[in-house]
Amino acid sequence: MDQQNKQTNQKRNQPNQPNQRRSNSGQRKKVNKIRWRRPKKSNGKLKVIPIGGLGEVGKNLTVFEYNNEIIIVDCGLKFPDEELYGIDIVLPDFTYLIENASKVKALVVTHGHEDHIGAITYLLDRINVPIFATKLTMGLIKKKLDEKRLTKSTKTHIIKAGAFFKVGNFKIEFIPVNHSIPDAVALFIQTPVANVIHTGDFKVDFQPIDGNIIDLQRLGSAGVQGVDLLLSDSTNVEEKGFTPSESTVGNTFYNLFRGRKNRIIVTSFASNVHRIQQIIDAAVNYNRKVVITGRSMENMVDIAKDLGYLTLPKNVLVNIRDMKRYKDSELVIITTGSQGEPMAALGRMAYGDHRHLIVSKKDTIIISASPVPGNEKMVAEVINKLIELGAEVIYKKFADIHVSGHARQEELKLMLTLVKPKYFLPVHGEERMLVHHANLAESVGMKKEDIFVVKNGAVLELDGKSCKVLKEAVPSQPVLVDGLGVGDIGNIVLNDRKRLSEDGLFIVVLGMRKGKCISGPDVISRGFVYMKESEQLINEAKAEVKKALNTCEKNRVYDWSSIRNEVRDSLSKFLFKKTRRRPMILPILTEI
């Protein structure tokens, strides 16, 4: 017996080895008591630093720092809003992590959505860090690593939901939760000085498609053990009640597919594997073949199928090039474009640009998603275009074809009540959501002084006795990606782009010799006025430029910088007086 206990303890104490929770309930209590015994208080301090995800929905990244060790939780991107002209994506600020690269021991990922994994390759371009994630999440991450040729240089560790592992002084457990993508987990992070639960994105679903229910029992036992700080998802905090189960959407698909003799096109989030499974199940039930279109949808189906997260009957998938072999009544097309993106497959169909699909009056199009905040106009425009083409378009206002993956108020209250944290930090939400979540925490008995609504870059410090926000913040400015440029676009460039989009460009070309104009001025207008219809204004503008040049010559101003400024100022006043618009004026001086 002593020998057996010795072997068990040796196995338990091996560093960095994932361990499965015991299935036998009697053993489980005993293991948890030993395994998760609260460590003795340390003189160290735990810093919790949200670098992204606060005051916004996207680019989630949180730093946990204990002494000289750092773990990162999630590393996501954010898609640009309308004010970020020409920007492709927005990244978190990696400055603090780069400056402390020697301390960074692990990147731990809660689930596979882009706002949690989309910036990983950009981080790995700057520092090398091992990644810990569940199987599907890691499959999606590896796809990104392969595309950037980072697979060989990056260590990856697949951790099962319900297992735990150790990184330095951090003990991390993956607690299963429900979300709109499989294999989502909350994190129970233990250090010698404090215990933290990070919920990731979650909901409470008692009828999930894959049968994996959120582990409320483990969350409750963690609360009994003692949780110093809770970080909880705030996305749906404004919604009352409980979020409906994903399984309710499946019944809607069966009802919509029943009796239809036309082609059915369905769009949803590519990452929602359970939604894709339900669409396929409904198609199979009504003897329809399934066509997948859109790069992200094709990638997700391939990965989920290879890893066993999608169940596909033999020969149900049909290549888009072969769908002409089938009648419209025999086809269901699953596509990207649920957010109205013009370049996604559904957007190209709406604008008549898709190579293989032409929408007609014979089509039924189902949009099984809600617009992400900021995308409402694009989604509405795509719906309008599809209706103009004669298609029947079904979206959330007319049918129960979408449920959220985020917890509503009653689920958020349940999380707070189960975990019983000493301190609370609402995350993953815009400012109003964070404040609303803070108020919700007060309504279940938390003290206002124990709740922290902070901004990106704030540093929370826990020492085992208290939690406080330090005066010093870390860099957390959004990093803009434009084409191949990362972080090289600033406010000045964005302001210029905004002016160009609003009032256009007015170019004046002057040929110069020895400080005097001997050719021109020639005028080019883009986005301001159409020159053929505004000849009088253009001629008056040229006369105004000549006046400015005469002023320079009279005052013996010959340096090009001063001449440019005089021409720009004079022309700006003239054009505003004539048009009440302020185009960007660009004087170009050329030596002849």
pLDDT tens-digit profile, the chain (592 residues): 444 444 444 444 444 444 443 333 333 333 333 344 545 556 789 999 999 999 998 899 999 999 999 999 999 998 876 666 566 788 999 999 999 999 999 999 999 999 999 999 999 999 999 999 999 999 999 999 999 999 999 999 999 999 999 999 999 999 999 999 999 999 999 999 999 999 999 999 999 999 999 999 999 999 999 999 999 999 999 999 999 999 999 989 999 999 899 999 999 999 999 999 999 999 999 999 999 999 999 999 999 999 999 999 999 999 999 998 999 999 999 999 998 888 899 999 999 889 899 998 989 999 999 887 777 888 999 999 999 999 999 987 667 889 999 999 999 999 999 999 999 999 999 999 999 999 999 999 999 999 999 999 999 999 989 999 999 999 998 888 776 566 556 666 666 666 667 778 888 888 877 667 777 788 888 777 766 667 788 888 888 888 888 888 777 777 778 888 888 888 888 888 888 888 888 888 887 7
Overall CATH class of domain 44-241+405-482: alpha beta
* Residues β-bridged to residue 266: 334, 366
Q: Return the domain boundaries, the chain.
A: 1-35, 44-241+405-482, 247-394, 490-591
- 274, 406, 428, 437: the active-site residue: 406
Instruction: Give me the phi and psi of 331, to 5 degrees please.
Output: -125, 140
Predicted local distance difference test score (pLDDT) of residue 490: 61
Predicted local distance difference test score (pLDDT) of residue 46: 96
DSSP secondary structure letters along 353-401: --SS----TTEEEEE-S-PPTT-HHHHHHHHHHHHHTT-EEE-TTTS--
* Distance in angstroms (rounded) separating the CA atoms of residues 255 and 261: 13
Q: Would you say the C-alpha torsion 81, 85, 86, 92 has a positive or negative sign?
A: negative
Extract long-range pairs of 37-42: CB within 8 Å, 24+ residues apart.
Answer: 38/190, 38/195, 38/225, 38/226, 39/190, 39/191, 39/192, 40/192, 41/192, 41/193, 41/464, 42/191, 42/192, 42/193, 42/464
* Distance in angstroms (rounded) separating the CA atoms of residues 488 and 362: 48
| DSSP 8-state symbol, 128 | -
Write the CB contacts of 274 (distance below 8 Å, at least 6 apart in sequence): 180, 181, 182, 208, 209, 210, 246
Q: Judge residue 401's burial from the number of C-beta atoms within 10 Å of its C-beta, 0-12 exposed, 13-18 middle, 19 or more buried.
A: buried
Residue at token pair 């049918």: 399
Predicted local distance difference test score (pLDDT) of residue 333: 96
User: Hey, what CATH topology would domain 247-394 get?
Assistant: Rossmann fold (3.40.50)
Closest by CA to 428, choosing from 118, 48, 62, is 62
Q: Judge residue 60's burial from the number of C-beta atoms within 10 Å of its C-beta, 0-12 exposed, 13-18 middle, 19 or more buried.
A: buried
Is 233 annotated in the active site? Answer: yes
Helices (H), strands (E): how many in the chain? Answer: 17, 26
**Structure-derived torsion over alpha carbons of residues 413, 415, 420, 426, reported in degrees to the nearest 10:** -80
* Distance in angstroms (rounded) separating the CA atoms of residues 580 and 93: 39
Q: How many C-beta neighbours within 10 Å does residue 313 have?
A: 11
Predicted local distance difference test score (pLDDT) of residue 413: 97
| DSSP 8-state symbol, 178 | B
Predicted local distance difference test score (pLDDT) of residue 24: 36
Q: How many C-beta neighbours within 10 Å does residue 34 have?
A: 10
Amino acid at 83: E
Q: How many C-beta neighbours within 10 Å does residue 214 have?
A: 26
* Distance in angstroms (rounded) separating the CA atoms of residues 427 and 448: 16
Predicted local distance difference test score (pLDDT) of residue 563: 83
Three-state DSSP state, 418 = helix
* Residues β-bridged to residue 65: 47, 70
Candidate CATH numbers 3.40.50.9100, 3.20.20.370, 3.40.50.11740, 3.10.20.580; the one for domain 490-591: 3.10.20.580
* Distance in angstroms (rounded) separating the CA atoms of residues 203 and 417: 15
Helix, strand, coil shares of the chain as percentages rounded to 5? 35, 25, 40
DSSP secondary structure letters along 552-569: HHHTT---HHHHHHHHHH
Show the DSSP H helices in 404-457 as ranges: 409-419, 431-443
* pTM score over 0.75: yes
Show the DSSP H helices in 191-344 as ranges: 216-225, 247-257, 273-285, 295-306
Predicted local distance difference test score (pLDDT) of residue 508: 86
406-431 exposure pattern, b = at least 16 Cβ within 10 A, e = fewer: bbbbebbebbbebbbbbbbbbbbbbe
Predicted local distance difference test score (pLDDT) of residue 439: 97
Is 406 annotated in the active site? Answer: yes
By the 8 A CB rule, do 172 and 163 touch?
Answer: no
Predicted local distance difference test score (pLDDT) of residue 483: 60
* 79, HSE (Cβ side, Cα atoms, 13 Å): 9
Residue at token pair 């320079």: 552
Q: How many C-beta neighbours within 10 Å does residue 498 have?
A: 14
- 233, 363, 482, 503: the active-site residue: 233
* Distance in angstroms (rounded) separating the CA atoms of residues 18 and 130: 14
